[in-house]
């Protein structure tokens, strides 16, 4: 399968996917890495792996819809089978989401439906939660609201800082994203009527 990864920053999730493809743990090829941020370190990671990169700068587009049309055209140029959002910090338009529904994944650093949106580690800490984690879901027009495919849980300890929690969660992200992408490339993962099937198991 041909995979496009959208990033905005450091790209640790991207790197985990690059590594998994390179060791053939995923029956897929990352053919494009696109970012809304020209300075995203993930672009360097992609270039070093010989993967095409593209920066789609919002200042070149008058509104969200025209930005997303540019993204969609890029995706079409690469005939992509799967779009993976990995630390991508833009909200996609309903038209884009509808167009790629069922082949658009995102990872969010919380145990959805808890803590959609930003600053999830800070919020979990402040709430005194003793459990936290990350969620991979199909993207729908509801922000961080699509059907969840897989989650990983981590404990929160009394003396934890945001950095410690973020690192513990990120470690799990890097473990589970390659697994979910592997399942998708094996045609084992399906979203149907807003529900997720892995083989014949309703998740």
9 binds ligand GRF (CB under 6 A): yes
173 binds ligand GRF (CB under 6 A): yes
Q: Is 123 assigned to a binding site?
A: no
Residues forming a β-bridge with 153 = 133
Beta strand extents in 38-194 (DSSP E only): 53-55, 82-85, 104-108, 131-138, 148-155, 189-192
178 binds ligand GRF (CB under 6 A): no
Q: Distance between CA 43 and CA 39 in Å, rounded?
A: 8
* Residues 109 and 134: beta-carbon distance below 8 Å: yes
Query: How many chain residues interact with ligand GRF (CB under 6 A)?
Result: 15
Residue range at the interface with ligand GRF (CB under 6 A); choices 8-16, 19-27, 49-57, 70-78: 8-16
3-state secondary structure of 167: helix
| Residues acting as catalytic residues | 108
DSSP per residue, 33-58: EEES-TT-HHHHHHHHTT--EEE--G
Which positions from 92 to 131 touch ligand GRF by CB under 6 A, shown as an x/- string?
---------------x-x----------------------
146 binds ligand GRF (CB under 6 A): no
Q: Is 13 assigned to a binding site?
A: yes
Cβ-Cβ contacts under 8 Å for 128 (sequence gap 6 or more)? none
By C-alpha distance, which of 110, 113, 115 is closest to 165?
A: 110
Residue range at the interface with ligand GRF (CB under 6 A); choices 11-19, 70-78, 135-143, 180-188: 11-19
Residue nearest to ligand GRF (CB): 87
Give me the least distance between CB of 192 and ligand GRF, in Å please. Answer: 25
The token pair that represents 143 in the structure block = 């922000």
**Residues within the interface to ligand GRF (CB under 6 A):** 7, 9-14, 42, 86-87, 107, 109, 134, 170, 173
């Amino acid at each position: 399968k041909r995979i496009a990864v959208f990033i905005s920053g450091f790209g640790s999730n991207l790197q985990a996917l690059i590594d998994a493809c390179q060791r053939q743990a995923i029956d897929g090829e990352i053919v494009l890495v696109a970012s809304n941020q020209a300075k995203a370190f993930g672009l360097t990671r992609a270039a070093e792996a010989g993967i095409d990169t593209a920066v789609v700068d919002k200042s070149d587009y008058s509104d969200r819809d025209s930005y997303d049309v540019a993204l969609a055209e890029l995706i079409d140029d690469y005939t992509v089978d799967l779009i993976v959002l990995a630390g991508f910090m833009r909200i996609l338009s309903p038209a884009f989401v509808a167009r790629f529904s069922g082949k658009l994944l995102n990872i969010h650093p919380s145990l959805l439906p808890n803590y959609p949106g930003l600053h999830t580690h800070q919020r979990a800490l402040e709430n005194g939660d003793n459990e936290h984690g990350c969620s991979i879901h199909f993207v729908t027009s509801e922000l961080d609201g699509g059907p969840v495919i897989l989650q990983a849980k981590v404990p929160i300890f009394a003396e934890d800082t945001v950095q410690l929690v973020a690192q513990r969660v990120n470690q799990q992200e890097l473990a589970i994203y390659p697994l979910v992408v592997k399942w998708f490339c094996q045609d084992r993962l399906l979203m149907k009527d807003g529900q997720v099937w892995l083989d014949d198991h309703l998740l």
